[in-house]
């Protein structure tokens, strides 16, 4: 008789858990995604890069990628170092993509 009561209690908690999980899935998946806008990252993408020569010096920079043609151009490069050296090697950040060499 005691084992019948234990199985009944286990079944009750299992069903409560199953209903809770079902309700959670319904609530979190209830949003309609058909009206969501498509991702539009634009034609030009910018990315940054950095490298170090030793513990106290290196180079940082940025480049732009034209996603239509696949062309890549470096727009900014700066060297930093340990005697206090900070030298801008290239700075074309305010130029149009067509004007960058």
In a domain, 23, yes or no: no
Write the CA distances from 101 to 25, 43, 45, 68, 77, integer angstroms.
54, 19, 17, 18, 13
When divided into structural domains, the chain yields a total of 1
For 94, which DSSP code? Answer: T
**Among 24-28, 34-38, 62-66, 86-90, where is mean pLDDT lowest?**
34-38
Which pLDDT tens digit goes with each residue over 28-54? 876 666 666 665 667 888 889 998 888
Per-residue pLDDT for 23 more than 70? yes
Q: Tell me if 16 is assigned to some domain.
A: no
Residue 48 lies in domain: 44-99
Q: What is the pTM of this model?
A: 0.52
| Residue 9 covered by a domain | no
């Amino acid at each position: 008789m005691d084992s019948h009561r234990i199985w009944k209690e286990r079944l009750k908690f299992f069903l409560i858990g199953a209903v809770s999980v079902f309700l959670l899935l319904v609530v979190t998946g209830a949003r309609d995604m058909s009206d969501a806008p498509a991702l539009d990252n634009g034609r030009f993408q910018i990315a940054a890069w950095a490298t170090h020569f030793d513990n106290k010096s290196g180079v940082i920079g940025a480049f732009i990628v034209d996603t239509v043609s696949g062309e890549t151009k470096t727009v900014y490069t700066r060297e930093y170092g340990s005697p206090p050296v900070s030298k801008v090697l290239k700075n074309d950040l305010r130029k149009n993509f067509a004007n960058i060499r």
